[in-house]
C-alpha cells in the first residue's frame, strides 16, 4: 500500500530544493556577526553548516531583548539552517574532535584573533593544509595579522571609524555618525562568501584549498564609493552631507502630504522628465539646472524649487507614478512598514518557520532556490547527532561530557 505523501513544512521563504551548495560541508567556529552571516548565506543555499560554539556559547545569544526562549533576536537573525555543538577547543581533546570533523569538511570559517588558531596547532600553513589539502580556510578578523594594527581585535563601529565610513555619514550639523546598520560586519560576511565561492571554483582545477584572509578593515574600506574615487581625483576630503549625493542632484528627501519621499535623478534626461511629471517643465530648461554639474552648484536653489511641487502631494501615490515613468522615487518607510509591504511578501523577504521569523534570502535562483530549512539552533542542540555522524559512539560522547569537553549548557 502506498504511503501518504509527506506534508510539506508550513511557513514562508522556505527552501524548495536541496540548494546550489548542497553537498558542501562547513565547520563554523565563528561568533558575533561577520562570520555567522557568511555561514548563514552558505547554509541558506544548501551547505551543511555545523556551528561549533565555545563553552560560553556565541555571546550574541545574550544581545537582547527581545528574546525567543533563551536566545536574543541578534542571534536568531543570522544563525538559521545550522546545527550547534558546544565544544571546548581550549583543551587538546576538544581540538582532536575538531580535527576529525575537518576530515570531511570543505570549508572552515573562524574569527579568532590572528595567532589564536596557530597557538592551538591549527594554523593553516603549518597544520591544516598538510592534513587537509583541499580545505578552504576562511579567517575573518579585524585588521589581519600584519601591519601596525595587525592582530588587534575588530568591531563594526570601530572599523566604521577607522576606515572613514563614519566620517561620511551624518550631516554638517551632526559631524561623523555611526551607520545604523552594522555595515562593515555585514559586508565582511558578504565578501567572505564571495571569496569562498571563488576558492571553490579554483579548487575544481587545482584540487587544492587555500587560506582566505578576510578583514573588517579591508571590507569597510571597499565600501567607500564614490567618496574614495572623488578624493583620488580631487584631493578634497569627503565630508558628511546627510541625504544629498556628492555627485548628483536632485538626490534629496522631501516632505509630502502623507510621508517623506526620496527623489533622485541619475541623468539630465531624467531630470527634465521629472520636471514635466511634477507640472513645471520650465525647470528643466532653467540655465541653473540644465546639466548635473549646474544642479550640484545650485543645489539649494533647486531644493527650494522642488519642495513646493511635492508638499501637497500624496507621497505614496506620487512615488508609484514616478517609478512607472522610469523616474527614481520612493517613500521613506519605517522598518515595520517595510516588513508589512505587499512587495516584501511577494519577494518572500520575510521568512517564517515554526515560530521563527527572519529576513529571507535575497539570492533568488531559478532551479536551485535556497531559503529556510531549520530554525536557529539552541546551544549544542545537535551535539549527539553531529558527533554520531563523525563516528563517535555513545560511550565516547558520554566521556566527553564527563571530561568537560562537550557542553550542553552554556558556561556562565
Which residue numbers are catalytic? Answer: 185
Residue 12's nearest CA partner among 348, 412, 264 is 348
DSSP class of residue 238?
Answer: P
d(C-alpha 91, C-alpha 93), whole Å: 5
* Residue whose entry in the numeric block shows the C-alpha cell 560541508: 25
d(C-alpha 70, C-alpha 79), whole Å: 14
C-alpha cell recorded at residue 5: 505523501
d(C-alpha 241, C-alpha 231), whole Å: 15
Quote the strand ranges of 211-250, DSSP E.
Answer: 211-215
d(C-alpha 276, C-alpha 142), whole Å: 50
Query: What sign has the CA pseudo-torsion 196, 201, 202, 206?
Result: positive
What angle separates helix 156-163 from helix 183-206, to the nearest 10 degrees?
A: 90
Neighbours of 409 (CB within 10 A): 10
With beta carbons less than 8 A apart as the criterion, state whether 107 and 136 touch.
Answer: yes
Rg (C-alpha) for the chain, rounded Å, is 25
b (16+ CB within 10 A) / e for 249-284: bbbbebebeebebbbbbeebebbbbbbebbeeeebb
Residue 227's nearest CA partner among 237, 218, 217 is 237
- Cβ neighbors of 300 (< 8 A, separation 6 or more) are none
Amino acid at each position: 500500500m502506498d504511503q501518504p505523501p509527506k506534508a510539506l513544512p508550513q511557513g514562508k521563504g522556505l527552501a524548495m530544493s536541496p540548494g546550489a551548495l548542497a553537498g558542501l560541508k562547513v565547520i563554523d567556529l565563528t561568533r558575533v556577526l561577520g562570520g555567522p552571516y557568511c555561514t548563514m548565506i552558505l547554509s541558506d543555499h544548501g551547505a551543511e553548516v555545523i556551528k561549533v560554539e565555545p563553552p560560553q556559547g556565541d555571546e550574541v545569544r545574550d544581545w537582547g531583548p527581545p528574546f525567543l526562549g533563551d536566545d536574543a533576536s541578534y542571534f536568531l537573525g543570522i544563525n538559521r539552517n545550522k546545527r550547534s555543538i558546544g565544544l571546548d577547543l581550549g583543551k587538546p581533546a576538544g581540538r582532536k574532535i575538531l580535527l576529525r570533523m575537518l576530515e570531511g569538511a570543505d570549508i572552515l570559517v573562524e574569527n579568532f584573533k590572528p595567532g589564536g588558531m596557530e597557538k592551538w596547532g591549527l594554523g593553516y600553513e603549518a597544520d591544516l593544509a598538510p592534513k587537509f589539502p583541499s580545505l578552504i580556510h576562511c579567517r575573518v578578523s579585524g585588521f589581519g595579522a600584519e601591519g601596525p594594527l595587525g592582530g588587534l581585535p575588530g568591531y563594526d563601529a570601530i572599523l566604521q571609524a577607522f576606515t572613514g565610513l563614519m566620517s561620511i555619514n551624518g550631516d554638517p550639523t551632526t559631524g561623523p555618525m555611526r551607520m545604523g546598520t552594522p555595515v562593515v560586519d555585514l559586508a565582511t560576511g558578504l565578501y567572505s562568501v564571495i571569496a569562498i565561492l571563488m576558492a571553490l571554483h579554483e579548487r575544481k582545477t587545482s584540487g587544492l584549498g587555500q587560506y582566505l584572509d578576510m578583514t573588517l578593515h579591508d571590507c569597510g574600506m571597499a565600501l567607500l564609493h564614490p567618496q574614495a574615487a572623488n578624493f583620488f581625483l580631487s584631493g578634497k576630503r569627503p565630508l558628511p552631507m546627510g541625504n544629498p549625493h556628492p555627485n548628483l542632484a536632485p538626490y534629496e528627501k522631501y516632505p509630502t502630504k502623507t510621508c517623506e519621499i526620496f527623489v533622485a535623478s541619475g541623468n539630465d534626461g531624467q531630470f527634465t522628465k521629472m520636471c514635466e511629471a511634477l507640472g513645471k517643465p520650465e525647470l528643466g530648461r532653467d540655465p541653473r539646472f540644465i546639466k548635473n554639474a549646474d544642479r550640484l552648484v545650485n543645489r539649494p536653489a533647486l531644493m527650494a524649487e522642488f519642495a513646493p511641487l511635492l508638499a501637497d502631494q500624496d507621497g505614496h501615490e506620487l512615488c508609484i507614478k514616478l517609478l512607472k515613468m522610469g523616474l527614481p522615487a520612493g517613500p521613506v518607510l519605517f522598518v515595520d512598514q517595510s516588513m508589512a509591504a505587499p512587495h516584501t511578501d511577494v519577494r518572500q523577504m520575510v521568512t517564517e518557520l515554526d515560530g521563527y521569523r527572519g529576513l529571507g534570502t535575497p539570492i533568488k535562483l531559478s532551479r536551485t532556490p535556497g531559503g529556510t530549512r531549520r530554525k536557529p539552533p539552541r546551544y549544542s542542540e545537535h551535539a549527539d547527532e553531529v558527533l554520531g555522524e563523525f563516528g563517535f559512539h555513545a560511550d565516547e560522547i558520554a566521556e566527553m561530557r564527563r571530561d568537560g569537553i562537550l557542553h550542553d549548557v552554556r558556561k556562565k
